[in-house]
Amino acid sequence: MIGLVVDLFAGGGGASEGLAQALGRDPDIAINHDPEALAMHKVNHPGTRHMLNDITRVLPLEATGGQSVAILHASPDCTHFSKAKGAKPRSQFIRDLAWVVVGWAEATHPMLITLENVEEFLTWGPLDKDGFPIKEHAGDTFRAWVKRLKRLGYNVSWRLLRACDYGAPTTRRRLFVVARRDGHSPVWPKPTHGAPDSPAVIAGRIKPWHTAA
């Protein structure tokens, strides 16, 4: 594979570990504003170049040195989308961090872009003066975000996937967005695990869910 692998919003290195297992090498660049998170990332991925900075202040072409980007992964802050936030006001600035992905797409034209977030990311829209989502405009900003990527030539697709269906001991469901610029449609992995009493598990086609116990 020719080109850099970049992990935006890199935390302790979980997403980068997935990339490393899939590609056989660590990401080339990881960016995060939190020194503790980036310190953990360095332990997990010592071969990666780590950039401690506010993602909105990073210039893509400067960060990459003008080299081509093959894969761009992003896990923007999800706290101001998640229903776990409850009845508290949201931050428009935090919600808008996902626009950084479009900026990188415009500047570096990655062949593949992946994004992971909570399922409420699909309802991304404007906030009212008190910081609460405007129900009538739920999803408006998400659709505009997707449209921008499509204008850049990306084939964009998304799905809600449960971690337990792929071997992790948790039922957490997350949104995954995949955008390809190579003329092909995204290909989604088939579940490898299922309910112990499901026909597929009984027939031995997939494995039973792992439990935390």
β-strand pairing of 112-117 with 155-162: unpaired
- Sorting pLDDT into bands at 50, 70 and 90, what band is 159? very high
Element (DSSP H or E) covering residue 3:
none
Mean pLDDT (the chain) is 92
Greater pLDDT, 73 or 87 = 73
Q: Is the pLDDT of residue 82 over 70?
A: no
For residue 7, the model assigns a pLDDT of 96
Cβ 111 vs Cβ 70: under 8 Å: yes
For residue 12, the model assigns a pLDDT of 87
Q: Is the pLDDT of residue 80 over 70?
A: no
β-strand pairing of 112-117 with 173-180: antiparallel
- Sorting pLDDT into bands at 50, 70 and 90, what band is 146? very high
Residue with tokens 């992995």: 189
Cβ 15 vs Cβ 73: under 8 Å: yes
Both tokens of 71, joined, read: 């894969």
Beta bridge partners, 159, equal: 176
Q: How far apart are CA 184 and CA 206, in angstroms?
A: 27
Task: Please list the alpha-helical segments (H only) found in the chain.
Answer: 14-23, 35-44, 60-64, 92-95, 99-108, 140-151, 199-202
Cβ 109 vs Cβ 152: under 8 Å: yes
Distances (CA, A) of 83 to 14, 23, 36, 80, 135: 23, 33, 26, 8, 14
CA dihedral 122, 127, 131, 134 (to 10 degrees): -80
Q: How far apart are CA 1 and CA 5, in angstroms?
A: 10
pTM for the complete prediction?
0.92
Residue type, 87: A
Residue with tokens 């449609």: 185
Give Cβ neighbours of residue 190 (< 8 Å, ≥ 6 apart): none
Distances (CA, A) of 91 to 84, 128, 133, 182, 209: 14, 11, 10, 35, 37
Q: Is the pLDDT of residue 176 over 70?
A: yes
The per-residue pLDDT for range 192-211, each reduced to its tens digit, is 999 999 999 999 999 999 99
- Sorting pLDDT into bands at 50, 70 and 90, what band is 86? low
For residue 213, the model assigns a pLDDT of 79
For residue 70, the model assigns a pLDDT of 97
